Amino acid sequence: VRRHAGWFSLAWRSFGRGEDEELSKAGWVRAWHGCKFEALYSIIYHGRLCESRDKARGDRFFNGAPGIYVHKDETSRKAENYVRFVPLCGDGVFWAAKWEVRVNRAEAVKAPRKTDQWVQRAGSVRLAALWLCGRLAHEMEEGSPAS
């Protein structure tokens, strides 16, 4: 489905309307996770996001707060700070990805300092939709990271 600013949302196949309704009744809410395009294969293959918890592996997270970092709806645009546009096919189009997820805030990780990000355990995050954006060089927004 075409969305704003060149983004398209693709419903995650295993996340149906019924599951969304059940999770909503149980208090789960929508959140957003920006990712590098290179991470898509692993996320799609495993069907989930993995916690950032190993600094030796290059994971970035607050000390004492390993988890999956997401943004609530009100700060959803900030998830785009974690995407990077990459040229895939040599056709001049740069692609980026982010995830729409559902999170159980009852299982939130307490961040050690003030942040507008939510930190969640892996079991409290469900993939809902993959959002993709393709832009030509002249359509790139000021400050958009690109490879």
CATH number of the domain within which 66 lies: 3.90.228
* pLDDT given at position 102: 97
Q: Per-residue confidence at 61, pLDDT binned at 50, 70, 90?
A: confident
- 3 state DSSP class of 119: strand
* pLDDT given at position 129: 96
pLDDT single digits (tens) 62-85: 788 889 999 999 999 999 999 999
Domain count, the chain: 1
Q: Rounded to whole angstroms, how far apart are CA atoms 58 and 66?
A: 13
Cα 58 off chain centre by: 18
Range of the domain at 9: 4-139
Give percent above pLDDT 70 in the chain.
99
The answer to whether residue 144 sits within a structural domain is no
* pLDDT given at position 16: 72
Is there a contact between 29 and 120 (Cβ–Cβ < 8 Å)?
no
